[in-house]
Structure 1
Amino acid sequence: MQLIVSAGLILAVVLWGLLAPASLGAFFNEALGSITHNFGWFYLWVVLALVVLAMLLAFSRYGDLKLGAEDDEPEFSIGAWFAMLFAAGMGIGLVFWGVAEPISHYTAPPPGIAPETPEAANAAMRYAFFHWGLHPWAVYAVVGLSIAFFQFRRGAPALVSASTDALPWKPLQRLSPVVNVLAVVATAFGVAASLGIGALQINSGLNTVFGLPVGQVAQVAIIAVVTAIFLASALSGVTRGIKWLSSFNLAVAGALTLLVFVLGPTVALIDTFTTTLGAYASEFIRMSLRTTPFRDSSWVSSWTVFYWAWWVSWSPFVGLFIARVSRGRTIREFVIGTVLAPTLAGFVWFSVFGGTALHLEIFLGVPVAEAVQADVSTALFAMFDALPLGLLMSLAATVLVLVFFVTSGDSATLVLGMMSTQGNPNPPARVKLIWGVLVAGIATSLLLTGGVQAVQTATIVFALPFAVVIVGMAVSLWLAVRHDWREEQKRERALRQRMRELAGQK
């Protein structure tokens, strides 16, 4: 039933976008204005609270609790585990925005900062760290930890609704089907957002390397071809397709980062990382709760609120996926692996790619900003053009986006299949095929409706209801963790008492 309802709702939106793109675009724009004006503060508070909760669970006495039985061992090595969660979590986004976001902030900085100044460059890097740092990964971690905790310790099905079982408000259990449908819809549109921008960047990369024309026909064709590839990968299973592709892409991303670091302004990049890390730490709270009540500005809603909505919409997908591959790890291991490690990797990525782009723009007059303003998806390739081995790096980046596209779609079809089949960890191939086609249809529909802007708008609109669900999951997780920790303490005390009694009898 949930499969029919959620798939039917998504199919209706896809058809609306294909048959009347102007009408769908107008609807989403009106909804966007209302949500960002009235609920932007809600996104800010919720995501900051999730950061606090993740750190509290990891570095408190509760961090030793295992996701599973005491004798459960992790299914995947640390390297393969990290590669899969990183590829699923934000692979396409990092490649797309690694150059484009810092340059965008440099030319159009937050309110109160003059554009194209040293202050704007510093703010550009600081906000890139902020938008891709602890906050998004904490959203993923809390959702994933909640699902894994109830699934592996309580024997619950791999469903978002099962993660609210510890809530004291039992009438909410009747809303489980609604919660699961919200999770499916949020996931489908969040993944489609990334697939849409992935198609744009693949098109730009193929134009740079092979001269393929840039346009909607090419982008729709790219979506169709890559969808066929990720469906083939999805049907091969987690331990094969997703694992191998994720490990391959992590290696390519690392090699590309190292190459740009060596060929670019190496010392300046080290300074950029150091300075930005300090600024990020000192401005953390202010950026986390920044709104503009006394200034007519859409900057916060266009960037921070959009990103928080994007992470929220991706969280049921990424959360279910990383829960699926995390059995046997402790809460502390889980949070370190899903929050701190990828945050550091993201900081290095933006320091190298964003720092190089800003250096070329400011000191060498390379028109990277001009490329961003003309077409955001060309930003990375405009930077490569100014570096040695630029064509080779453009080719590598195109392959990187292509494989991230495949791993994201691959993981999404698995998770959507699980959510729509009552938590079945190995959903039927037929269900995976349905979701793969629907997600590709959403991405195509949104691109035809209005490109990146339409993708962003739809993401924010569909993420709001699920943000409320995440609050319930976080409260339920906290109550369940405290209960299980107390029970373990009781068992340990009883065991120690029994051992003392046996020793006394001897």
Structure 2
Amino acid sequence: MNKITPVFTVSVIVTLFFIIWGIIPEGVLNNFSLNAVTTAVHSIILEKFGWFYLISASIFLAFALLLIFTKYGNIRLGKEGDQPEYSYLTWFAMLFSAGMGIGLVFWGAAEPMFHYYYPPLEEPASEESARAALRYSFFHWGLHPWAIYTVVGLALAYFQFRKKSPGVFSSLLRPVFGDRVDGSLGILINFIAVFATVFGVATSLGLGASQISGGLSYTFDGIENTFTTQLIIIIVVTILFMISAQTGLNRGIKYLSNLNIILALALMLFVLFAGPTNFIMDTFSTTLGSYIQNLPSMSFRLAPFDPENTWYEDWTIFYWAWWISWAPFVGTFIARVSRGRTIREFTIGVLLVPTLFGALWFSVFGGSAIGLDYFQGSSILGEIESVGEEVALFELFNYFPFSMFLSILAIFLICTFFITSADSATFVLGMQTTNGSLNPPNTVKLLWGIIQAGAATILLYIGGLAALQKASIIAALPFTVIMLLIVYSLIKSFIEELPKGQKMQKEID
């Protein structure tokens, strides 16, 4: 514990305060309960700052795309002779497992079905709403979220491995604020990153616990999908991921990430070839083209002249906030496993490969669910509305052979994603609260693992998924400002990378 910093102390105290605050019954605090306060703050943020999330996410995407085509793409994230530590397959598996594995499994069938019946503008349950449903699923899980991760991961890898700065967020802003990042300003910046990480990861862990519980109750008689069941799942999985966390990055996380990608591919390929293959692939191709074509308009679309239409706030704004709240965690982890790659290689890999995989995932599961409803009148949406989003995938499996086996495999996949995400998060939180240590002490990781589990449990207890969503949106707002400053800081640093001759020519011009 000799490596802990003031950021560790402040972050632990504040996070524990929120957990204790959530335990106190609402009747005791009335309007000052955690649920009441987060609801009020959440409403204010959506009303006043929804546009800010939207524009910021598009700025991050534009910045990431531009880097691919500039001379700065040749800069290596490390010394000039450094080579990548991991193969492409392992690298992709690790960043994908940490990035959004649980979410894809949870929403793969549920989100397209929601958009199909409750679209933003189109006629419900129509051909137009089916196209929009998949296009917006691609949009919410595609280039924008991975651009958010790209910005944070790139900045951390660049400053830590090339500039030899500590792997903490305050050091990323030294070109902007100078030595002030070594004082209270730096502590505040790093605390905001840790706070966003805790509640961003808690959201996904809550989703994972909900879906494991829902899957078990849906698949096996006698198991009820209750908070008690979810609590037991969180306790069991917490023990498992803490065991994994003690093995280090090159054992537990690496092996589990490879297992995750194998299981996810196996599940996706089975549904692809056991289902309407031509329909799924036609849907993938058509929707991918439509997504690229409509990307600029979707990136800035809200409903200013229709105040009753809260679709964009409920979906797009929530997602951008969720991804931003995950960015400190995923960005730190991606940076840690990306040493030795060039900026162009890093950006293309992080931005495009997961986007294409996510698009195929939604085409397979969401396309199958919509196709079953459109052509056969399935009951998938009815199950979602009566039981919950967490059962959508398992209801879809009822229309496929070996449905019991598929359900068990999916539950196991969610568990491994759960363990990998939480394991990665304990590593990142340990790193961020020990001044960027690449090997944080196990005691620090253990403590953060317990705190993460506690945060997820409390948020589920006080309001289920709604409370988790509110926490993500609130935690993301201050970190969005930090991310915009990070972009500016990177631009300043990249300009200084120009050879002296080019800098002189630039000054003459």
CA shift in 2, pair 1:161/1:218, >3 Å:
same
CA offset at residue 490 of structure 1? 8.0
CA offset at residue 169 of structure 1? 6.5
Aligned counterparts of 1:280 and 1:122: Cα–Cα separation in 2: 10
CA shift in 2, pair 1:71/1:122, >3 Å:
same
CA offset at residue 171 of structure 1? 5.0
2:176 aligns to what?
A: 167
1:272 to 283, 288, 301: 283
Deviations 1:325-371 (A, max 9, x none): 11100001101111100000000000000000001111112101112
1:462 to 472, 475, 486: 475
**Amino acid across the alignment from 2:403:** G
1:346 aligns to what?
A: 358
CA shift in 2, pair 1:172/1:239, >3 Å:
closer
1:295 aligns to what?
A: 306
| Gapped regions of structure 2 (runs ≥ 5) | 1-5, 28-32, 505-509
Query: What does residue range 19-38 of structure 1 map to in structure 2 within 5 Å?
Result: 19-20=24-25, 23-38=33-48
1:443 to 449, 456, 468: 456
CA shift in 2, pair 1:444/1:119, >3 Å:
same
Normalising by structure 1, we get a TM-score of 0.95
2:119 is the counterpart of 1:109: yes
Query: What does residue range 298-313 of structure 1 map to in structure 2 within 5 Å?
Result: 298-313=310-325
Query: What does residue range 86-105 of structure 1 map to in structure 2 within 5 Å?
Result: 86-105=96-115
Aligned counterparts of 2:331 and 2:177: Cα–Cα separation in 1: 23
Aligned counterparts of 2:63 and 2:178: Cα–Cα separation in 1: 21
Aligned length: 490
Deviations 1:51-73 (A, max 9, x none): 11111112211111100001111
2:30 aligns to what?
A: none
Deviations 1:191-229 (A, max 9, x none): 000000000001122223333221000000100100110
Aligned counterparts of 1:57 and 1:481: Cα–Cα separation in 2: 10
Aligned counterparts of 2:68 and 2:262: Cα–Cα separation in 1: 28
* Mean CA deviation greater in 420-429 or 84-93: 420-429
2:296 aligns to what?
A: 285
Secondary structure of the residue aligned to 1:87 is helix
Secondary structure of the residue aligned to 1:411 is helix
CA offset at residue 274 of structure 1? 1.3
2:240 is the counterpart of 1:229: yes
1:54 aligns to what?
A: 64
**Amino acid across the alignment from 1:13:** F
Aligned counterparts of 1:184 and 1:156: Cα–Cα separation in 2: 18
Aligned counterparts of 2:495 and 2:350: Cα–Cα separation in 1: 21
1:333 aligns to what?
A: 345
* Mean CA deviation greater in 149-158 or 56-65: 56-65
Aligned counterparts of 2:208 and 2:145: Cα–Cα separation in 1: 19
CA shift in 2, pair 1:292/1:169, >3 Å:
farther
2:160 aligns to what?
A: 151
CA offset at residue 485 of structure 1? 3.4
2:395 is the counterpart of 1:379: no
CA offset at residue 189 of structure 1? 0.2
| Gapped regions of structure 1 (runs ≥ 5) | 492-506
CA offset at residue 484 of structure 1? 1.3
2:252 to 241, 247, 253: 241
Contact 1:208 1:394 in 2 (8 A): no
CA offset at residue 479 of structure 1? 1.4
Contact 1:99 1:350 in 2 (8 A): yes
Runs of 4+ residues over 4 Å off in structure 1: 168-174, 487-491
**Amino acid across the alignment from 2:489:** S
2:413 to 400, 409, 424: 400
Normalising by structure 2, we get a TM-score of 0.94
CA offset at residue 170 of structure 1? 6.2
Deviations 1:373-397 (A, max 9, x none): 1211000000001111111111111
Paired-residue identity, %: 48
**Amino acid across the alignment from 1:260:** V
